Every structure is written in structure tokens, then in C-alpha cells.
Amino acid sequence: MKNEGSNIYKFLSEFKVTYIYLLIFILTLAPILFPIGIPITTTQDTKDYYAELKTLGPDDIVLVSWNIGFDALMELKAGAYVSMRAIIASGAKMVHVFGHPEGPGMFPLIFGDPNKGTVGELSKTMEDHDYTEGDDYIVLGYIMLNEASVVSIARDFHNYVIVDWKGAPISGTFLDEIEDPADLAMIIDFSAGFFSEAIVRHMAMDFDTPMIISSIGVSIAQNKLFVDAGYVSAILGSTRGGAEIEFLAGQPGIGLQAMDSFTIIHYFYILVLILGNLAYFGYERHRDMRRTALR
Amino acid sequence: MTNGYEFLLFILAIITTWAMYLQLYGKPNPFYSFAQATYMGASFGLDLVVTFLFLYTSGFIPITKGDVFMALGFVLGFATLLRLTKRYAWVSRIPLAIALGTGLGLGIRTQIFAGFLSQIMSLITPFAVPSDAMTSFYNISIVLSTLFMLSFFLYTVQREGPIGISSQIGEYALYIGLGAYFAQVFMGRAGLLVGYMQNITTPAWKTPYSLGIGVLMLAIVIAMDRYGILEKLSD
């Protein structure tokens, strides 16, 4: 019996990691293709984030900073779509800046580009609300390269930025109303870490501008500190936050769809963690001890 | 469906995606080598173009509008390139010193508040919140954990007696914190995977192509491995 037991531990210990990766892919894909509808709950953080979005009105101007590339967009897109839809529906104007070189390529996937005939995820929403580039939103492009450039946007906006990402002058647009971040109703940052902290320190902190952050999972702990310190009003955390805000807004989409895979992978990970520890204590550890005795 | 050009882009994206994931096979393979080289080249090209556009819109255009001061930035930028020459390499230290000093000045001024004073102030919370037991528990646990953990990082005293107990509890609190951080990282990485898997299976017409190409590439890698040519064709 003892030998049989140790065989199980040996099997677990020597189980090829490649098969675990394959299982992860299968467990991720299966619920996407065949949704289950596992229920979720909403956290206070997401409720606070959504409540902040609901305070916006037609006279407001919002700075949207995209401190993410294509990869982090995969994690934050559910929350980004709902956030942008809420702003568009409120009638508030948006000014978009990028803190990642992939920003200019990523943006048309969300907002589309009418000049090139590109359709984005929000094209229909914008069409419904007659929300157009130039009048309702302006894209300044990749202008956040480092902390100094964030300070330049905050302190010397109209000297630092003269044209938008397509070379059109920004004078004569709604951006004439902006002298510094104090004139903004809100800052929304989609954060993978890059210059989010600089925005918090040089805009939200220095000018008391309300700020909310939609953060990738890795950066939640770091960004949460700014919520505790009072500089950031709320955080939307990762894909989970995206699903919660979809639920709150009554717009079920990719976020809620992702939760099935998300939940199953998490349970699978816990299982692997337990089995891995069993394998270690039941086989690997004894093998190491036997080796030590032989030496 | 979609037009031919977009379909071609989608197929290329799927091939490079699976090629990247085939690294998980555990052995070097030509698909991964191809995807890695392509990614490096593409991201370098993208960076170059986007940065050039930034220089044009934020540097060159202001100069043409009369903001001559911006030209100083170009001069400093050019001076950085002098690092490539032996004779004038010392000049490149001037822009570096300016960038370093500016960064330090900008960072320190705000870090003192955002990273230090405000964080301490956020810990000054009421221990007992009437009719809200959970908030009271959170406030107490945050303050105590901070104190215990700080005692763990005291290096100038022996960890004995009350300090020893406190630092031991601090160490456990640190492990709990690391566990929570690790879980958040896992959640984030799982989010990336799930998000991308949704991307290659939505809308539904993409699914057979995505899965078919993935299975085909995996089969090719397994076959190449079986015949011993997998690692020969890799970088």
C-alpha cells in the first residue's frame, strides 16, 4: 500500500508542466465557447468607481490617459468600454493622451477612425450620441514619455501641446477652456504602471483634480495606496472589476463572459497548488533527504 | 465576416500568437523564434515611428510657431548622440545631468507627500467606528500590521523580547501581504490570457480558424520534436 501511495506522489511530482499549460488553455477556452454564467458579486471599489463616473455632466471635460499597450488592454477592455460609454452618454468631453507607444495603434480599436473607415468597439455608441472627434473628444497622442512630460502637460499645457495626434491645431477647440488640471472635471487613468503615479502626484495631488484608476491586477496594490491617501477616488481592478462594472451598468459583455473562465482557472490553480505541495511533501522532499543521506 | 486584408491580418495575428504560446511546449521551436524576432522588430519600428511623431508634434511644430526655446531640446538631444564619438563623448554628460537633475527634482518634491507623509496620515484612523465592526477591524489590522512589519525591518536592535515577537508577527503579515500580491498578479495574468482568448474567438467566425491553426501548429511542433529537427531549426 505504501508503495502505491508513493507512486501517486511520484506521478504528481513528475507530471509534465506542458500538460498543465494545455489544461489551462482548454479550461480558459471552453467556458468562452460554452458560457456557464457563474454568478459574481460587486465590490465597494467598483461601486465607488461607477458612482464617480455617474457624477459627470455635459459641461465637464475629462482627461483620459491610456497608460497601457495592447496586452493590458486585453485585461482592462471590459471596464474601459463601460467607462467610455458612461462618459459618452453623460455628454462630457474627453481629451485622450497615451503613455505607451502602442497607444496610437490601440485607440482606433476602441473609438474607430472615421477618416480611415475603421470601426471601433464604441463606434455605434458614439454614432447614437452624435459624439465626434474634434467637437466632443480630442486625441493628443503619445505625449507622456516620462515624468517631465506629465509635468509639462500639467503646468504648461498650451505651450507643450499645440496640435493633436493628426497635426490639427488644438486652439479654437474646447481645450481652450483648459489651463491646468484644475479645469478638468476628472482624470481617468487606464494603468499598467507606466506614468500613473506621475499623474497622481503632478495632477491629482497638486491640483486637487478628482481621479479614478482602472488598474491591471499587478498594479492594484500600488494604486490602492493612493486611494488610502485620498488622491484617487476609486479603483477598478482588472478583468474582475470590468465584469462588476458591466453588471452595475446593466451592459453584460466580455467582462461577465470572462468570469466563467476566470473562476475555473482560479479553482484549477488552487488545485494545482494543493497537488504540487502533496507531490513535494510525499515524494520530492523524501527523495532529497535520501540523496543527502547517500552523500 | 470581414474584408480580405483584415482577414489576412487576423490569420497572421493568430499564427504569431500561437507561435508565442508554443514556448510553453518546453523546448525551443522555430515558430517561437520567428514570433520573437518579429515582435522585437515590429515593436522597435513602432517605437521609432511614434517617437519621431512625438518629436515632430511637440518639438518641431512649436519651433515653427516661434517657440525657439524648444530648439534647446533638440540641441541637448543631439548632444546625447555625441556619446558615440570618442572625442566629444564628455558633452553627452551635460544633457544626462540635466535630465537626471530635472527628474530628481520633479520626483522628490511630490514623492515626499504622495509616497511618505500622506501614507502616514492615511494610517491615522479611528480604531473603533460605531456600528461598523468591519471597518473597525480593518483600521486596527492595518495599523497593527504596519507597526509589526516596521519592527521586522529594525536592523539596529536584537530581535528579542517584545521586539522579537513583534517582528515575528510582522514577518507573517509580510507573507500574507505577499500572498495577496501574488494572487493579484495571478488574477492579472489570467485576465490577459482570458482577454486574448476572447479576442481570437469573438466574433464566432474566428473560432474555427483560431483553434484549427493552434492545433495544426502544435501538431507540427510535436512531429518536428519526434523527428529530432525541432531544436535544429530554432534560434
Could you read off the pLDDT of A225-240 as tens digits, one per residue? Answer: 899 899 999 999 889 9
Could you tell me what percentage of chain B is helix, strand and coil, using 3-state DSSP and rounding each to the nearest 5? Answer: 80, 0, 20
Is residue A22 in some structural domain? no
Q: Report the range of poorest mean pLDDT among A125-134, A243-252, B105-114.
A: B105-114
Number of neighbours of residue A268 by Cβ within 10 angstroms: 17
Please tell me whether residues A271 and A133 are part of one structural domain: no
Is residue A146 in some structural domain? yes
Please tell me whether residues A278 and A156 are part of one structural domain: no
Percent of chain A with pLDDT over 70: 96
CA A177, A179, A183, A189 torsion: positive or negative? Answer: positive
Overall average pLDDT of the B59-70 stretch: 86
Q: Report the range of poorest mean pLDDT among A114-118, A192-196, B202-206, B218-222.
A: A114-118
Q: What is the pLDDT of residue B208?
A: 94
Please tell me whether residues A240 and A274 are part of one structural domain: no
Residue A106 · residue A66 · CB < 8 Å = yes
**Which value does ipTM take for this structure?**
0.83
Please tell me whether residues A261 and A147 are part of one structural domain: no
Number of neighbours of residue A11 by Cβ within 10 angstroms: 11
| A26 has pLDDT over 90 | yes
pLDDT band at B69 (very low <50, low <70, confident <90, very high): confident
Number of neighbours of residue B23 by Cβ within 10 angstroms: 16
On average, the pLDDT of chain B sits at: 90
Please tell me whether residues A186 and A280 are part of one structural domain: no
C-alpha distance from residue B215 to each of A261, B21, B210, B219 (Å): 20, 12, 9, 6
Starting from the edge strand earliest in sequence, which strands make up the sheet with A211-215, in order? Answer: A137-142, A93-98, A61-67, A186-191, A211-215, A234-237
Please tell me whether residues A227 and A291 are part of one structural domain: no
pLDDT digits (tens, 9 = 90+) for B11-45: 999 999 999 999 888 888 899 999 999 999 999 99
Overall average pLDDT of the A208-217 stretch: 95
Q: Which among A261, A275, A212, A206 is positioned nearest to A75, based on CA atoms?
A: A261
pLDDT digits (tens, 9 = 90+) for A172-191: 999 999 999 999 999 999 99
Instruction: Retrieve residue B173's grid coordinates.
Output: 503579515
Instruction: Retrieve residue A139's grid coordinates.
Output: 486625441
Please tell me whether residues A264 and A246 are part of one structural domain: no
The neighbouring-strand residues paired with A211 are: A187
pLDDT digits (tens, 9 = 90+) for A243-266: 999 999 999 999 999 999 989 999
Per CB-CB distance under 8 Å, the chain B contacts of A72 are: 192
Please tell me whether residues A198 and A248 are part of one structural domain: yes
Amino acid sitting at position A140: L
- Check A217 against B191: CB less than 8 A apart: yes
- Check A240 against B199: CB less than 8 A apart: no
pLDDT digits (tens, 9 = 90+) for B169-206: 999 999 999 998 898 888 888 988 998 899 899 889 99
pLDDT band at A295 (very low <50, low <70, confident <90, very high): low
Q: What is the CATH number of the domain that holds A115?
A: 3.40.50
0.90 exceeded by the pTM? no
Is residue A21 in some structural domain? no
Q: What is the pLDDT of residue A268?
A: 94
Overall average pLDDT of the B44-72 stretch: 88
Q: Nearest Cβ partner of B103 from A147, A160, A220? A: A147
Q: In terms of residue numbers, what domain contains A221? A: 44-252
Q: What is the pLDDT of residue A1?
A: 45
Name residues 110-129 of chain B within 8 A of A (Cβ): 110-111, 113-114, 118-119, 121-122
Percent of chain B with pLDDT over 90: 46
pLDDT digits (tens, 9 = 90+) for A54-106: 999 999 999 999 999 998 999 999 999 999 999 999 999 999 999 999 998 89
Please tell me whether residues A184 and A231 are part of one structural domain: yes
pLDDT band at B219 (very low <50, low <70, confident <90, very high): very high
pLDDT digits (tens, 9 = 90+) for B132-150: 898 899 889 988 999 999 9
Rounded to the nearest 5°, which phi and psi values hold at A58? Answer: -65, -25
Is residue A3 in some structural domain? no
Please tell me whether residues A177 and A271 are part of one structural domain: no
Q: What is the pLDDT of residue B157?
A: 86
Overall average pLDDT of the A103-117 stretch: 88
- Check B181 against A221: CB less than 8 A apart: yes
Please tell me whether residues A141 and A281 are part of one structural domain: no
Q: Report the range of poorest mean pLDDT among A46-50, A218-222, A269-273.
A: A218-222
pLDDT band at A294 (very low <50, low <70, confident <90, very high): low
CA–CA separation, B225 and B231 (whole Å): 8
Is residue A12 in some structural domain? no
Q: What is the pLDDT of residue B15?
A: 93
Is residue A227 in some structural domain? yes
CA B168, B169, B175, B177 torsion: positive or negative? Answer: negative
CA–CA separation, B199 and B195 (whole Å): 6
| A293 has pLDDT over 70 | no
Please tell me whether residues A177 and A267 are part of one structural domain: no
CA–CA separation, B186 and B191 (whole Å): 8
B51 Cβ contact list (under 8 Å, min separation 6) = A101, A142, A145
- Check A142 against B50: CB less than 8 A apart: yes
Residue B187 contacts A, CB cutoff 8 Å: yes
Distance from CA of A185 to the nearest CA of B (A): 21
Distance from CA of B70 to the nearest CA of A (A): 9
| B127 has pLDDT over 90 | no
Is residue A32 in some structural domain? no
Q: Which is more confidently placed, A136 or A4?
A: A136
Is residue A31 in some structural domain? no
Distance from CA of B182 to the nearest CA of A (A): 8
Domains contained in chain A, number: 2
Distance from CA of A26 to the nearest CA of B (A): 10
CA B9, A141, A232, A192 torsion: positive or negative? Answer: positive
